[in-house]
Structure 1
Amino acid sequence: MTEDMTGVPRAEDSRWYDHEAGPLVRPYAMTGGRTRPGPGGVRFDLIALVTLDRVAPGTDDPALGPEHRTLIDLCRPETQSVAELAAGADLPVGVVRVLLGDLLERGRVTVSRPVPPAPLPDERVLREVIEGLRAL
């Protein structure tokens, strides 16, 4: 160990350690180098709702990492959006999307897409409504 300019001891390879935050884990290490969720090509919107599948087995699956378990624990009390999960787990959204893809493939979670907004009425219809209102 050596000391930095402030006299605090640091490891020889300190780029992997932050004295305030502890050991750093790169996002690609959490996802096994993957940048997209699963082979199904599922795209998780930030507002997609993730619900824990209540009939799925416990978190004792050896293929699940600590980050997977964190996401399961966050979904346990209530349905969460992808953005809420990323904030709650303190992970980048891209990492959360890949991890959710793993959980979806294993049947641990279900994902519901937000209801799309109703299509806007045709401009012609709006003009006719305005003309009708003016005629009153």
Structure 2
Amino acid sequence: MTTLGTDDEHWFDDAAGRLIRPYTVSNGRTEPTTPMELLSMVIATGCHPHGQLGPDHAQVLGLCGTVTTVAEVAARLRLPAVVTKILLSDLVDWGAVDARSPDPMANASNPAVLETILNALQRRL
């Protein structure tokens, strides 16, 4: 077994994947408090929430150092998109992350946009 990172306390098994269930990561929540789409852009604001961040929130915040999409954060975390949206919405609520709707030109049903996303996700995995 290997870990995801030296500071990460969540175990990852090369064959089995993440050993912590997604509903545990989201504390059983199924809906984010901030509406987001897969193509929504997120970036850290530089403001850190009061208190100590849990390992999942800290990892998400670290991935938001530059503008990125919800889909890319989910792919890098190897978590379902809805769980990633919940973690991101927590950070938005705490003022640590800013989320913007995707550009209207980035129509999710546009085959060129979908191909670009697929290629980016395949490079990451």
Same fold (TM over 0.5): yes
Runs of 4+ aligned structure 1 residues displaced above 4 Å come to: none
Offset of residue 106 of structure 1: 0.3
Q: Percent identity?
A: 37
Write out per-residue CA displacement over residues 50-109 of structure 1, whole angstroms, 9 at most, x where no aligned residue: 01002x027x832x3211111111111x11100000011111111001101100000000
1:36 is aligned to 31
Q: Name the SS of the counterpart of 1:32 in structure 2.
A: coil
Cα separation, 2, equivalents of 1:86 and 1:50: 12
Task: Give the TM-score normalised by the residue count of structure 1.
Answer: 0.61
Q: What does 1:14-93 align with in structure 2 at a 5 Å threshold? A: 20-21=15-16, 24-38=19-33, 42-54=34-46, 56-57=47-48, 61-62=51-52, 64-76=53-65, 78-93=66-81
Give unpaired runs (5+ residues) of structure 2.
1-11, 106-125
How far off is 1:18 after superposition? 6.0
| Aligned counterparts of 1:19 and 1:90: Cα–Cα separation in 2 | 12
Give the TM-score, by structure 2 length.
0.66
Q: Is the 8 A contact 2:41 2:102 kept in 1?
A: yes
Equivalents in 2 of 1:94, 1:107: separation in Å?
Answer: 20
Deviation of residue 32 (structure 1)? 0.7
Q: Highest Rg: 1 or 2? A: 1
Q: Secondary structure at the match of 2:103?
A: coil
For 2:93 and 2:83, the matched residues in 1 are separated by: 16
| 1:24 Cα deviation from its structure 2 partner | 1.5
Give the Cα–Cα distance (whole angstroms) in 2 for the partners of residues 51 and 22 of structure 1.
27
